Amino acid sequence: MDASLFQVIWFWLIALLIGGYFVLDGFDLGAGALYPFIAKNEKDKAIIRRSIGPVWDGNEVWLLTAGGALFAAFPMAYATTFSGFYLAIMLVLFCLIVRATALEFRSRDKKWKKIWDILFFLGSALPALLLGVAAGNVLQGVPLNANGDVIVNIPVIDLLTLFPLICGVLGLVLFLAQGAAWIALKAPEKSNLHKRAAKLKAPFQIVALVVFVAATVVVLFLVSPEMVAGLAIVRYALAALFVIALVGAIVMK
């Protein structure tokens, strides 16, 4: 079925909204995922929380707008996505709610501060991973029945196959790189927090490159091998690229 002009426009608009969410909310999810590892004292933790406090809620509006646009433009796709991925979507939303609650209560509830720190970390790291898994499932494709319903035997578990998991790791590492860059930008320039964050930017970017190459190889060899059928040179080039990226990551480390 040919797509109409308005369908094409809505498709790219939704893609822009989702891309905007990944870019804009990626740095505060990454900062939250780095929070317990990079912040060594209460001052460091306060700097990280205050750096994302004014912007996290505005960044999540991009995701909400993308969901509303999907409902308005492609209601069948919306119904399929939100019914087939219901548990996964609710898990992400629950994590985001817990994360927001922990971020707001951490500075006011000294008695439970360790609990809030753990919830803030989990509420940041899990969505960063699961959003990549969701993107991987969309790229890989999911089985549908005649009614357009997603066919899964065990909700969430059936979505955690090789390629989506690699995409999830890729998304998490990219968010961590963004978070490290954001913390380095917001921390006092000569502070230890700034130095630790600045040192993490390049390693995360190298790891992201390696994982990206791995995801590309999996797509071309396992998910959609027909893309390179008969083009052996492409396979050799990708294998060489993966080896070069892996060696480069080891040397830089």
Q: d(Cα 232, Cα 216) in Å, to the nearest integer?
A: 15
For residue 183, the model assigns a pLDDT of: 92
For position 179, what pLDDT does the model report? 92
Asked whether the predicted pLDDT for residue 234 surpasses 90, the reply is no
Tokens at residue 215, please?
């995801």
Q: Which of 178, 201, 164 is nearest to 29 (CA)?
A: 178
Q: What is the pLDDT of residue 33?
A: 92
Q: Residue 173: pLDDT above 90?
A: yes
Confidence bin at 169 (pLDDT 50/70/90) = very high
Q: Rounded CA gap, 205 and 201, in Å?
A: 6
Return all residues near 38 (Cβ < 8 A) that are at least 6 apart.
Answer: 44, 48, 180, 183, 193, 196, 197, 200
pLDDT at 121 over 90: yes
Q: pLDDT grade, residue 133 (50/70/90)?
A: confident
- Show Cβ contacts of residue 202 under 8 Å, excluding neighbours closer than 6 positions: 252
Taking phi first (over 0 means left), then psi (-120 to 50 degrees means alpha), and beta for anything else, what does residue 141 get?
left
Per-residue pLDDT, averaged over 165-169, amounts to: 90
With a CB cutoff of 8 Å and minimum separation 6, the contacts of 114 are: none
Tell me: pLDDT of 108 over 70. Answer: yes
| Beta-carbon contacts of residue 60 (< 8 Å; ≥ 6 apart) | 21, 25, 96
Contacts of 241 (CB under 8 A, 6+ apart): 213
Give the confidence band of 220 by pLDDT, cuts at 50, 70, 90: confident
CA distance 78 to 89: 12
Share of residues in the chain with pLDDT > 70 (%): 81
Mean pLDDT confidence for 213-237? 66
Calculate the alpha carbon distances from 175 to 56, 164, 196, 250 in Å. 14, 16, 16, 21
pTM (2 d.p.): 0.82
Domain boundaries, the chain: 5-189
List the single range of 3-7, 111-115, 146-150, 219-223 with lowest mean pLDDT.
146-150
Are 170 and 208 in contact, with CB atoms under 8 Å apart? yes
pLDDT at 1 over 60: no
